[in-house]
């Protein structure tokens, strides 16, 4: 195996979803919904398949999706993009992240990110031969610690990888926090790469702040998102990255040798989704907010301390009251003990002690499934 990947084993999602199948457990581990998204989006994929769009699409993406991403960025953020040079379609956000980091980083360059971080970040940074420098977000409020963030920057910082709304914490970075990240990036002449896959899953009337909208940031920000979360189509793997044309050309150069292209018939379908009206976006985040409330109340009544998430699919809780002393061991045993699958937050950390007994639960599930999971967890106390 590539020695750069030596520290990374099987991803936690594969391990935990396999345990869910083995024990026929409720899977609140890997984040994917158990209901389908908008009918128009599903129908558009079926029409694309029956309409013969089953061969390689153009390398940068199908024109209607490039146009739809540009229109979406203007409609929600006021960012105007040239869809032919400033947008690139990728095989999910995962490929956008990998191609962007590989395009921008030389071996030895440093990448600043927050921990806990989405697991592909660390592996991708390592594959690029770059070095990750992290700042810890601490339970229960996961606030940004300015001193540690500043300390993570150096004259070798090439880029900051910012994820908001944030997986696994459910944190939506405040405007001040995004401004601080951007100010430090400007100070160190670094790129900001933002992973905004949960951009539309924001609760309580809060606003997602896109780094590219801040003053002076458009020219140093690459914005990544995907259709999986917004349209409940995580298996389709349609993502994109947008930003200054020269940088997008660099990302495209890497992407063409990773996958060349992806998801022919799903691209026009996601374009259809991006064009749905504001009310549809709002209704979906409202329904997820209700699910968050259901799971948070259930975890609390089972005696857990919870960080109420402002966005995403996820809630982090301290499982110590359920007998957890090490969340990884606890989560490996939980499917058998209680018929529930969850994910230990420590796998997303370099500093494992920051998350010793913290567990991530996904709430993008049917209400009755969430209720059943909570009652199984409560039986452990």
Q: Let me know if 22 is exposed, middle or buried by CB neighbors in 10 A (0-12, 13-18, 19+).
A: exposed
Q: Quote the Cα angle for 306-308-312, to 5°.
A: 120
The minimum distance between CB 31 and ligand GLN, in angstroms, equals 3
The minimum distance between CB 62 and ligand PMP, in angstroms, equals 17
Asked whether position 232 contacts ligand GLN by CB under 6 A, the answer is: no
Is the four-CA dihedral 360, 362, 367, 370 of positive or negative sign?
negative
Asked whether position 167 contacts ligand PMP by CB under 6 A, the answer is: yes
The minimum distance between CB 170 and ligand GLN, in angstroms, equals 11
Question: Which CB sits closer to ligand PMP, 201 or 322?
Answer: 201
Q: Where are the alpha helices (DSSP H) in 29-62?
A: 39-50
Encoded one letter per residue, x for contact with ligand PMP by CB under 6 A and - for no contact, window 123-162 reads: ----------------------------------------
Asked whether position 167 contacts ligand GLN by CB under 6 A, the answer is: yes
Q: Out of 232, 234, 267, 310, name the contact with ligand PMP by CB under 6 A.
A: 234
Asked whether position 135 contacts ligand GLN by CB under 6 A, the answer is: no
The first and second tokens of residue 373, run together, are 């999971």
Q: Out of 79, 197, 270, 331, name the contact with ligand PMP by CB under 6 A.
A: 197
- Rounded Cα distance between 14 and 32, Å, is 13
Query: Ramachandran region of residue 92, left (φ > 0), alpha (ψ -120 to 50) or beta?
Result: left
The minimum distance between CB 87 and ligand GLN, in angstroms, equals 22
Binding positions for ligand GLN, 18-37, rule CB under 6 A: 30-31
Asked whether position 13 contacts ligand GLN by CB under 6 A, the answer is: yes
213 Cα distance to chain centroid: 20
Question: Which CB sits closer to ligand PMP, 265 or 324?
Answer: 265
- Rounded Cα distance between 159 and 191, Å, is 4
Neighbours of 158 (CB within 10 A): 21
Asked whether position 226 contacts ligand PMP by CB under 6 A, the answer is: yes
Residue length of the chain: 381
The DSSP string of 181-209 is HHHHHHHTT-EEEEE-TTTT-B-TT----
User: Pick from ligand GLN, ligand PMP, none: which does 13 bind, CB < 5 to 8 A by kind?
Assistant: ligand GLN
Question: Which CB sits closer to ligand GLN, 12 or 149?
Answer: 12
What DSSP designation does 203 have?
-
Q: Quote the Cα angle for 25-234-311, to 5°.
A: 85
Question: Which CB sits closer to ligand PMP, 153 or 236?
Answer: 236
The first and second tokens of residue 202, run together, are 């924001």
Asked whether position 239 contacts ligand PMP by CB under 6 A, the answer is: yes
Q: Which residues bind ligand GLN (CB under 6 A)?
A: 11, 13, 30-31, 167
């Amino acid at each position: 195996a590539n020695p750069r990947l030596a520290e990374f084993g099987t991803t936690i999602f594969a391990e935990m979803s396999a345990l869910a199948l083995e024990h026929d457990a409720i899977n609140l581990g890997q984040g994917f919904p158990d209901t389908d998204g908008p009918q128009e989006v599903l129908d558009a994929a079926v029409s694309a398949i029956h309409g013969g769009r089953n061969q390689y699409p153009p390398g940068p993406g199908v024109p209607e999706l490039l146009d739809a991403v540009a229109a979406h960025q203007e409609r929600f953020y006021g960012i105007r993009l040239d869809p032919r040079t400033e947008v690139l379609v990728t095989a999910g956000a995962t490929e956008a992240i990998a191609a962007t980091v590989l395009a921008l980083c030389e071996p030895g360059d440093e990448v600043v990110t927050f921990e806990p971080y989405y697991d592909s970040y660390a592996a991708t940074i390592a594959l690029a031969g770059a070095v990750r420098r992290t700042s810890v977000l601490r339970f229960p409020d996961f606030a940004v610690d300015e001193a540690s963030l500043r300390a993570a920057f150096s004259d070798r910082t090439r880029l900051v990888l910012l994820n908001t709304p944030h997986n696994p914490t459910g944190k939506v970075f405040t405007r001040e926090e995004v401004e601080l990240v951007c100010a430090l990036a400007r100070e160190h002449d670094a790129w900001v790469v933002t992973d905004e896959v949960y951009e539309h899953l924001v609760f309580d009337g809060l606003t997602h702040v896109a780094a590219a909208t801040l003053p002076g940031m458009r020219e140093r920000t690459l914005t990544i998102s995907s259709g999986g979360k917004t349209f409940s189509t995580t298996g389709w793997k349609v993502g994109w990255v947008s930003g200054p044309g020269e940088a997008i050309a660099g990302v495209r150069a890497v992407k063409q040798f990773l996958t060349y292209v992806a998801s022919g018939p799903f691209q026009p379908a996601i374009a259809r989704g991006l064009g749905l009206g504001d009310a549809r976006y709002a209704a979906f985040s409202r329904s997820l907010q209700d699910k968050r409330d259901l799971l948070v109340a259930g975890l609390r009544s089972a005696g857990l301390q919870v960080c109420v998430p402002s966005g995403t699919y996820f809630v982090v809780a301290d499982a110590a009251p359920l007998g957890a002393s090490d969340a990884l061991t606890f989560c490996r045993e939980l499917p058998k003990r209680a018929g529930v699958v969850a994910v230990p937050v420590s796998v997303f950390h370099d500093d494992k002690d920051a998350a010793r007994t913290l567990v991530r639960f996904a709430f993008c599930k049917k209400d009755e499934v969430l209720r059943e999971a909570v009652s199984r967890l409560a039986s452990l106390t």
